Amino acid sequence: MKLYYATGTCALASHIALEEAGAQYSTVKLNFATREQYSPEYLAINPKGRVPALVTDRGILTETPAMLAYIAQRFPKARLAPVDDPFGFAEVQAFNSYLCSTVHVAHAHRMRGTRWVDDPTAIEALKRKVPETVGACFELIENKMIRGPWVMGDTYTICDPYLFTIANWMESDSVDPARFAKVKAHRDRMAERPAVRKVLAAEKG
């Protein structure tokens, strides 16, 4: 398998999951500064011009929640999700879907306002609300969603690398992690995992 990623993006979640699963994979780093994600070569892989994308022996996958579920289901021995328990698997997917469609989207209004508006003053107005909207998401995660020590409780799942990835953006969104004790402790716990250290070092290198 081949993972296309860029540093500082949500592709980190799938990168960590592949490592935790013990998968055989290689990586290709795209340079967003030179708009490499819009090159004809990459658009042939992912016409959305986004990361991550995962090339498999069956075809190409995109969208973080789908890729994480794929990794969990493809490497069942790693036990990254209760894939044979419809309710348990759905709880995992509901958490990841919230990260993807609400938390990531709230965050994206700081740097990617041009996706949704043209007017420069409106783009600035979008940026101003990000600390409030991202903060509200983490309040909900802290108070209603994270069970601890891992997202789903005692068992590490594909929710954990995804939360870790997005929780790492808090400071850049002017949200103080000290407000969210459980999320902060989760982030620290994640940073100690060998797979996470290895992947962070690889993405920096």
Contact call for residue 118 and a copy of itself (CB under 8 A): yes
**Which CB, 112 or 198, lies closer to a copy of itself?**
112
**Which CB, 69 or 163, lies closer to a copy of itself?**
69
Contact call for residue 180 and a copy of itself (CB under 8 A): no
Of positions 4, 70, 162, 164, contacts a copy of itself by CB under 8 A: 70
* Residue 63, Ramachandran bin (φ over 0: left; ψ between -120 and 50: alpha; else beta): left
Q: How far is the CB of 2 from a copy of itself (least distance, A)?
A: 15
With contacts defined by CB under 8 A, name the span among 20-28, 65-73, 166-174, 197-205 that binds a copy of itself: 65-73
With contacts defined by CB under 8 A, name the span among 18-26, 32-40, 87-95, 173-181 that binds a copy of itself: 87-95
Contact call for residue 164 and a copy of itself (CB under 8 A): no
Q: Are 190 and 196 spatial neighbours (Cβ–Cβ below 8 Å)?
A: yes
> What distance in Å separates the CA atoms of residue 8 and residue 126, rounded to the nearest whole number?
21
Of positions 3, 42, 104, 166, contacts a copy of itself by CB under 8 A: 104
Total Cβ atoms within 10 A of residue 130: 20
Tokens of 151: 């997202």
Contact call for residue 40 and a copy of itself (CB under 8 A): no
- Per-residue three-class SS string for 154-194: CCCCCHHHHHHHHHCCCHHHCCCHHHCHHHHHHHHHHHCCH
Contact call for residue 87 and a copy of itself (CB under 8 A): yes
Of positions 35, 90, 181, 191, contacts a copy of itself by CB under 8 A: 90
Rule CB under 8 A: which residues touch a copy of itself?
A: 47-48, 56, 58-59, 61-67, 69-70, 73-74, 86-87, 89-91, 93-94, 96-98, 100-102, 104-106, 109, 115-119, 121-122, 125-126, 128-129, 133, 140, 144
